Amino acid sequence: MRRAIFLGLSALVGTAALTGCSQKPELYAEEGWVRLAAVPGRPAAAYFIVHGGPKPLDLISVSSDVAITSEMHEGGMAMKKVDKVSIPAGGTVAFQPGGRHVMLYDMNPGVKPGRILSLLLTFSDGTRLRQGARVIGAADPAPQGS
Asked whether residue 1 is assigned to any structural domain, the reply reads no
Per residue in 49-108, pLDDT (tens digit) is 999 999 999 999 999 999 999 999 998 788 899 999 999 999 999 999 999 999 999 999
For the whole prediction, is pTM greater than 0.85?
A: no
Confirm whether 22 is domain-assigned. no
18-42 pLDDT per residue, tens: 445 567 789 999 999 999 999 989 9
In the chain, the number of structural domains is 1
6 assigned to some structural domain: no
Would residue 4 count as lying in a domain? no
Residue 142 lies in a domain: no
Task: Calculate the alpha carbon distances from 119 to 58, 63, 116 in Å.
Answer: 16, 6, 10
CATH of the domain at 125: 2.60.40.1890
8 belongs to a structural domain: no
Instruction: Please count the other Cβ atoms lying within 10 Å of the Cβ belonging to residue 66.
Output: 19
